[in-house]
Structure 1
Amino acid sequence: MAEIEIRPMRLDDEEAVRKLVCEEYMVREPLQRNLEMEPVRDGNAWFDMVFPACLKEGLSVVAVDSVFGDVVGFRCVMSVYKDNPQHFNFSKSDPNTRSLALTYEAVFGLYKDLDIFTRYGVDKYVNMTGLCVAQKYGRQGIAVKMVAMALDLSRKQNFRVATVETSSRYSARVFEKLGFEKLVEHPYDTMVLDGESMKMTDDMKYHYCFSLYVKEL
């Protein structure tokens, strides 16, 4: 088993995290694969827009192989403020960002009629927006350790609520293990994005829904 260090994400991790986004995250993430994303194109577009927000308050973390010094996993975390909501300009009319726009349409659908600020009496919360461990480092508990550190960093900055959207049964287990509660579940076979029903691929029997989890810190 590799020796893994979990630490806060830094600006100089940019290229390593970009590589994981394009070569691992976008390839394996079931919702995005189902929306027929092109890993390099859509991975770079996601990274260019989302990564700066994930560095803003130092809540994101990486997993590093202590022997080789390689970044082998990441957990991206953004802050969400009631008076200053975060927006990403992914356009459905632009072929370069259409798949990402549909992904975020699915994300916003989970929050429809759900006011996190009012429900939990807060004016800010953290949103965990990307989780990936390089496949050859899987099944070592790295994902759980990254989420746990991200939660600790969030508590230290006085955040009291964390949310995460997941489209993987396996990542859902990570959050459930750490005490997250499922608030909303959208089965894929009932989802309609941009007026079209989701296309069900063979792997969807293992990843059958898109869910929103919340944890009070």
Structure 2
Amino acid sequence: MIRIFLLMIFFFQLAFGFTQSKKASNLLNEYTSVALKSKKGLETPIIKWTKDTLTYNIEGQLTFLNSKKWIKFIDELSLITNITFIESDEADITIFIGTMNEYFEWLGESMPSYASSFNNWGRRRWNSNYELFHSSYCLTPQIKIANYGSYQLKRWFLISLGLNGTNPNNVSVLHNSFTQSNYYLSKRDKQCLRLHYHPFIKPGMKMAELKDVINSSIDLDALAKDKL
């Protein structure tokens, strides 16, 4: 009898997708907030890397995080995304520590006049299929608070991995402002990043297709319970 009941559940999930708990529903809401971005009615779809190995480089002196903590952060990202990160001069992702003038000179672009008042800036490039092929970001020496520097360093790295929006959860490193408690990856940050690099999540997906795939093919409850 139990076997018949379990089979019924299995075939129900095949037909109608996974049922969701409140935790899973919250995860879905937070993920769509950070994975998609809408501005003036225009929606930026899913963008992500489709390579198994990414190279990165740090231009300048990294003062916001010691090397041991940085390596731990990179190793953690690798476990979450199944991407191997290798430091290299020929970089997919460049972290530029310097002034805005120096950063825009490095980019080979004219600096907008308003950029001089910012202490962080970034550029991402993707192809017509919304596959990332280069990303860079700048953090300036004006950043004096260590935890704030750590917050921006990690926030921009996640943005470089394709997360577009902001998380309303103020313990998330993807929250739109520094809160003194979001300078490290929260459990939800890790869950959102793992979901973003799930093989069923494809570059170019928009909200309707994204939700359909997640609801029908991904066990969000299991991910929401994953302690990572």
Q: TM-score, normalised by structure 1?
A: 0.27
Q: TM-score, normalised by structure 2?
A: 0.26
Point out the structure with the larger strand share: 1
Larger Rg: 2
Q: Per chain length, whose mean CA-contact separation is higher, i.e. which structure has more relative contact order (CA < 8 Å, sep 6+)?
A: 2
